[in-house]
Chain A
Amino acid sequence: MNNDCLAELSGVSKRFGSVVALDGIDLQVRPGELLAVLGPNGAGKSTAISLLLGLQQPDKGTARLFGQSPLMIEARRSIGVMMQEVALAPELRVREQLELVASYYPDSLSPDAAMDTTHTTSLGKRPYGKLSNGQKRQVQFAMAVVGRPKLLFLDEPTVGLDLPSREMMWAMLRELVRGGSSIVLTTHYLEEAEALADRVVVLAKGRTIATGTVNELRALVGRKRITCATSLAVELVAAWPGVQTVTRDRGRLQITASDAEIVVKKLVAADADFHELEVHTAGLAEAFTELTQEVAS
């Protein structure tokens, strides 16, 4: 066990019948970081989180939470959890749901303080079953923070939220990390990971295929995207060195290439009239697609 880690999977494998969910993965959550766990469906994200929460046991390797087995209730008193698929008692009011979860922790926020910090005070008296899906996610987030946890596990926290609510949630997550909390986030929204994560772990087929900061992951995929308005033929540009793909969209060429400078020089030489030039570094979404496709192929 690395003493700097809040949660750790070491050499963990897990099978469900003939399906290998995790195949010897290592994962560490460090203090004060927001770690995004990404991967296509069936990559093993949920299994990895379940092992860290003590909901399942590894076949091989160890799962540790604050240096203890996740089955120890003392370890779980330092975590908050927001799950993707959960139906809370519809008859209980929001404030009551928070009071119940707060009672599990030795040093929790009051339900009112939790509602205040998560902007859910107006929902306090409403029965949970009468809330919209977005409001339910906000209440589940309030339940995750009410115990003042050092480590939060958030599974797709912004699914079902409208844009302002999502931005508010992002601001709260940043605030939590600034306040000293650590967060493990699983998300399908790559822009969410890009905007929030200090570190990203990409899983595919039960293995860790990449880990690092968002910039490090982008750099792994050394592609550039170039768009410009030009009359040059697609076939001509596609034959240039380093060009990977070329498409034409409403008079503009979209080119992906390993070396943008060479392509731009060639453009200047071949078509002096080209205009509206834009050059982009690959985003996390492109890096993710390329990384996971490599594993799939």
Chain B
Amino acid sequence: MSAATFAVENNLSRSTTMSSGKLRHAYLTETKFECLRALRAPAFAIPFLLLPIVLYVLFGVFLAGSMSHGDATIAKIMFVNWSVFGIMGPGMFGFGMFVAMEREQGLLTLKRALPAPPAAYLLSKMIMAMLFAAIVMATLVGAAAVLGHPGLTVGQYLGVAVLDMLGSLPFCAVGLFIGTRASAKSAPAFANLAYLPFMHLGGLFYPLPRSVQPLEFISPAFYLDKLALRLVGAPSLDQLAIGATGPSSHGTVILSVIVLAVVTLLFTGLSIRRLARVG
């Protein structure tokens, strides 16, 4: 070891400011490694990257296709609904599990003690969840184009993909909220407690009975699904069951955007407050 390598200038006025280029590099490095570690964690990457495509092909393409005799509207609904299902998991579990674990195991404390850029921790995880959403969407678009034949234009495919990537943010926020409160052991259970009702009450897999329909409003998946269905010009399964053939009204679009934005901001805000106070 050379003394020169370890030597620090005793001059205490040495700059401690980061140039904007350095700061950008810090954010990019944090994001790069957050994505890398998630992709390298088989318990996380395999279910969330493989399940959506496998389930979509099995249930959305083959089962629904044969039951509806190749109906184009059903094919569109299946593509959109399984896409929404696919982007929910990485956000909710990526934040819920990882944040709870990193809080409990001291990594978050270390990052707070180190001069890590303040927003890098959350921002890198959000981008990781969006990257997973992008990969899921790429596989689903590929499967839809080859097997599902929902008859969408390139613009519609792209629109649903971008919408769902952004639509993963409210699920990230809910996952983060869980991750900032639950222990590492209980976080997956709590994430499931939110994930499963969100999924089923979102009306993604079957038309909900009238008596249960008021509960749809508590699921962010319901609102994201409405937005995506509007992009492809298809009704929801609930609407289809009562004979509708077109998408929902413009009023529902604005309401859906507002609800998703409020869920994202509310749960992110509550979580940041918690992290700042407790860590």
Which residues of A line the B interface, CB within 8 A?
A: 6, 31-32, 53-55, 66, 73-79, 81, 83, 85-89, 91-92, 96, 99-101, 103-107, 109, 113, 116-119, 145, 147-150, 153, 171-172, 175-176, 178-181
Contacts and interface: CB of A to CB of B under 8 A. Distances in A.
Given A100-B29, A172-B1, A83 B110 contact: yes
A91 B37 contact: yes
Nearest to B25: A103
B7 A104 contact: no
A85 B106 contact: yes
A55 B107 contact: no
A117 B2 contact: yes
Nearest to A153: B113
Given A73-B117, A87-B106, A91-B41, 8 more contacts: A77-B16, A85-B105, A103-B26, A106-B18, A145-B6, A147-B114, A148-B8, A175-B3
Contacts of B29: 99-100, 103
B14 interface: yes
A96 to B, nearest CB: 6
A149 B29 CA distance: 20
B26 A55 contact: no
B259 to A, nearest CB: 34
B106 A105 contact: no
Contacts of A113: 5
A151 to B, nearest CB: 9
B233 interface: no
B41 to A, nearest CB: 5
Contact of A107 (B3, B14, B26, B114): B14
A178 B3 contact: yes
Nearest to A177: B6
Contacts of A179: 3-4, 6-8
Contacts of B110: 81, 83, 86, 88
B15 A106 contact: yes
A175 B2 CA distance: 8
B33 interface: yes
Which of B6, B7, B19, B112 gathers the greatest number of chain A CB atoms within 10 Å?
Answer: B6
Contacts, number: 126
Contacts of A147: 114-115
B253 to A, nearest CB: 40
Q: Which 9 A-B pairs have the closest CB atoms?
A: A87-B105, A179-B7, A86-B106, A103-B29, A91-B40, A179-B6, A91-B37, A77-B16, A76-B115
A85 to B, nearest CB: 5
Interface in B13-72: 14-19, 22, 25-26, 29-30, 33, 36-37, 40-41
A107 to B, nearest CB: 7
A113 B5 CA distance: 8
24 contacts: A54-B113, A76-B113, A76-B115, A77-B18, A79-B113, A85-B106, A87-B105, A87-B107, A89-B33, A91-B36, A92-B40, A100-B30, A104-B115, A105-B115, A106-B19, A107-B14, A117-B2, A145-B6, A147-B115, A149-B8, A172-B6, A175-B6, A179-B3, A179-B4
B91 to A, nearest CB: 19
Interface residues of B, number: 41
A101 B107 contact: no
Contacts of A88: 107, 110
Given A88-B107, A92-B37, A54 B112 contact: yes
Contacts of A109: 5
A204 to B, nearest CB: 25
Given A73-B118, A103-B30, A117-B2, A181 B8 contact: yes
A148 B16 CA distance: 12
Contacts of A181: 6, 8
Contacts of A31: 10, 12
A172 B110 CA distance: 22
Nearest to B98: A89
A13 B159 CA distance: 57
A77 B112 CA distance: 12
Contacts of B114: 76, 81, 101, 104, 147
B116 interface: yes
B279 interface: yes
A83 B10 CA distance: 25
A162 B273 CA distance: 42
A66 to B, nearest CB: 7
A85 B104 CA distance: 10
B41 A117 contact: no
Contacts of A153: 113
